[in-house]
Every structure is written in C-alpha cells, then in structure tokens.
Amino acid sequence: MIYLDNAATTLRKPPQVIDAVVAAMGSFGNSARGTHEEALAASRVIYDTRCKLAALFGCKRPDHVAFTCNSTEALNIAIHGCIHAGEHVISTDLEHNSVLRPLYRLERENNVKLSFVPADRQGNIDYADFERLLRPDTRAVVCTHASNLTGNTLDLACIGAFAHEHDLLFIVDASQSAGVLPIDMERMHIDVLCFTGHKSLMGPQGTGGLCLRGDPDILPWKVGGTGVQTFSERQPEQLPVRLEAGTLNGHGIAGLDAALDFIAVTGMETIRAHETALMRRFYEGVRDIPGVTVYGDFTHERTTVVALNIADLDSGEVADALAEDYGIATRAGAHCAPRLHRALGTVERGAVRFSFGWMNTEEETDAALAAVREIAR
C-alpha cells in the first residue's frame, strides 16, 4: 500500500516513537498520582514533552502546555472555555468541523454571534474582511493555520496583528501545520494554540493539546481528579491541571516526546523540504492532465496537500479505484470542511485528497501520478 493520507494521520512513525510507547507501557505509573519511581518516571517524560512543545511553538511557559486526546478536544476546551454568552466571534470558511461545530453549538445555546471571512474559488481569503466584520462585541478570532482540504495556509502574523490591535483573543487550530510549519505564539500574538500529535508531529494517536500565551481566562471543559487539592470542590486554578482532569495518556505522550526528538534531530526545514518536493512533483504532473481539476492556491506557502477531481467521477469512486486497483490510500469526500466545499463548488462529489509525508518517496509519488493519469483516460 502506498499511503498518501498523511493529513488524516501519519501511518508510518519513526521507529523510536514505537519503541518509546512500548517502553512506557512497561514502566510508567500514573503521573502526579504518587511519589514512587513509576509515577515519577511518567511525570518526568510528560514534563519533558511540555518543554519541547513550548520551545517548538514559542510558548514561554511549559506549564501552559496542557495535554488533550487530540486537537478537537483542545479546540472544544478553548472555544467553550473562552467565549461567553452573547459575544461575537470571527472565523473563516476554511475551518474544519472541530472549529465549526463548537462555534455553532455556542450560537444555538449561548446566543454567540458568528461571522465568517469568505473564501474564493481557490480557497483564499481577503484579510481586509477581518476589519469589515469587526464589531464592538467581538471577543475572539478563531481560525485554522492550514486548510485540511486544499493545503492553503493563512497568514497568522497578519491575523494576530489584527487581533492584538483590537484586543481580541486569538485561537488557532494548528492540526495541519504543527511540526511542519514554523509557529511563534509570541510573534504571531496567538493566545491559544491547539494541536494534535499524530499528524505532522508524527506521534501516536490519542495525543494533542493546547498552549496558552499569558494566562487567558479559560474555564475547564471537564473537571475531576488531578492528584492535587483533593479537598477542593472546584477544579484547581493553576495550569496545566486546570485543563487536565483525569489520567493523561502517558504512554502516548512518551511516543510524542520521541517524535519531537526525531523532528529536532532531522530538522523541521529538512522534513518540510522533502514533503514539499513530493507535493510539487505530484502537482506539476497532475495539473495539466485533461479532465483533472486541482483545488487550492499553489503560489503561496502551503502544506503538502493536493485535492483534485477527475472528470465527472465522484470522489469516492476515484478513491476506491486508487485503493483497490493501485494500492494507493487517499481521502475522499467532504473532509469535515463544509464551508470550504461550498466555496469551491464541490459539495455534491467532494474531492480526492493526496497528502504527502516524510516517509513517502519519489517512486510512490510517481506511481500515484501514473494512477491518476490512467483513471482520467
């Protein structure tokens, strides 16, 4: 199988990630639930991972890195914890349902008002629209760093400067960019950065988190055991335990710790250059094939996603043919991005998404290109 669905999850992990998870499963106790060596071993690795993530994202304090199961949980914590009844939020048409559904829920249940910066047929936005949509009751900007459908990126520094100028909270979904695009929370004025560990960070599934700049007023989404302040009826106020009720996924975090070491040693720029070269190789080959329509803007910084359709074929048909006849794994359908599909005009049949990762090769890329060419005949 040629795996080209890395935007969903990286299938092939660095060997040291697997080794770290296995070692943790044989040695970790429950972090912050004891002073014996097994509990301390888990605590040390979890804290080490917080430090590495803080350094990667330009977060000044490791204790302001809170772990979750994935970016969806992190976004729910951020959105439900920071936005109050009756306030106004600006978002964009590029968003994944992990942003949209929490916002829509607040709209229904808490009378939160929503405005969306529209996307054009290439999936681009006009940054002047943020100023146009600003209102006196605007509380926050919530947006993705990179579209999971087209690979287009948003200029976080530009949006962050707008949010900072107007004293707005800036919440960012870095699901598609963490580990492959540079992020600096201080320079970009990001207040809450939400990430997942199993995509470009190359860690295990079941890992993710959020990083907080300063100490934003964020209510816990869930409450419960923390291992500290047992007699308090309320969730502790200090971070990160304010947002970490229950046992952490220590085994998964150990794998994420090893993945961060792999990225640091290999170099994020080296990884990005390899993945981008494969994406460009594929894009340059498919864009002129008769009957193939490619979505997104390939003239600016982007992730390594190429979304396309072939003639009048349904995207599911194409993905099935790729898997069954050519042994190529891709993602078809709507990709949890309903607003962007409406903007692209692909609501009825979705799109076929090819996404390239560190473990992919030129030979695999060429095989995928040849398969698209044959299907399009």
What's the CA gap between 334 and 301, in Å, rounded? 23
Share of the chain above pLDDT 90, in %: 93
Q: How far is CA 59 from CA 9, 53, 211, 364, in A?
A: 25, 8, 7, 37
Give the separation between CA 172 and CA 187, rounded to whole angstroms.
14
Start-to-end Cα distance in the chain: 23
Classify the C-alpha dihedral 66-67-70-72 as positive or negative: negative
Question: E strands within the chain?
Answer: 2-3, 65-68, 88-92, 113-117, 138-144, 169-173, 192-196, 208-212, 292-295, 305-310, 328-329, 331-333, 351-355
Can you spell out the DSSP letters for 274-327?
Answer: HHHHHHHHHHHHHTTSTTEEEES--SS-B-SEEEEEETT--HHHHHHHHHHHH-
Q: What is the structure's pLDDT at 336?
A: 97
17 φ, ψ (degrees, to nearest 5): -65, -45
Q: Indicate the pLDDT class of residue 226, thresholds 50, 70 and 90.
A: confident
Contacts of 225 (CB under 8 A, 6+ apart): 245, 246, 247
In which band, very low, low, confident or very high, does the pLDDT at 118 lie, cut at 50, 70 and 90? very high
The architecture CATH gives domain 2-10+267-375: Alpha-Beta Complex (3.90)
Q: Assess contact for 178 and 201: CB atoms under 8 A.
A: yes
pLDDT tens by residue, 3-20: 999 999 999 999 999 999
Quote the CA–CA distance of 149 and 230 in Å, as a whole number.
45
φ, ψ at 244 (rounded to 5°): -125, 50
Question: For 197-208, what is each residue's pLDDT tens digit?
Answer: 999 999 999 999
312-351 confidence digits (pLDDT tens): 999 999 999 999 999 999 999 999 999 999 999 999 999 9
pLDDT in tens, 32-80: 888 899 999 999 999 999 999 999 999 999 999 999 999 999 999 999 9
Q: pLDDT tens-digit profile of 295-317? A: 999 999 999 999 999 999 999 99
User: Structure tokens of 106?
Assistant: 């607040």
Write out pLDDT tens, residues 162-191: 999 999 999 999 999 999 999 999 999 999
**53, 261 contact by CB (below 8 A):** no
- The band of 288, judged by pLDDT with boundaries at 50, 70 and 90, is very high
Can you give the pLDDT at residue 312? 94
Q: Say how many C-beta atoms besides its own lie within 10 A of residue 324's C-beta.
A: 9
Residues spanned by CATH 3.40.640.10 within the chain?
15-266
Residue range(s) occupied by CATH 3.90.1150.10 in the chain = 2-10+267-375
Residue 217: the pLDDT is: 85
Confidence of residue 221 (pLDDT cuts 50, 70, 90): confident
pLDDT at 227: 84
16 CB contacts (<8 Å, ≥6 apart)? 258, 261, 262
Q: Compute the distance between CA of residue 259 and CA of residue 119 in angstroms, rounded to an integer.
A: 34
pLDDT of amino acid 202: 98
Beta bridge partners, 5, equal: 355
* DSSP tally for the chain: helices H, then strands E: 12, 13
Q: Is 92 in contact with 114 (CB distance < 8 Å)?
A: no
| Fold designation for 15-266 | Aspartate Aminotransferase; domain 2 (3.40.640)
Question: Percentage of the chain surpassing pLDDT 70?
Answer: 100
The candidate with the shortest Cα–Cα distance to 10, out of 200, 196, 145, 175, is 200
> How large is the greatest C-alpha to C-alpha distance in the chain, in angstroms?
70
pLDDT band per the 50, 70, 90 thresholds, residue 377? very high
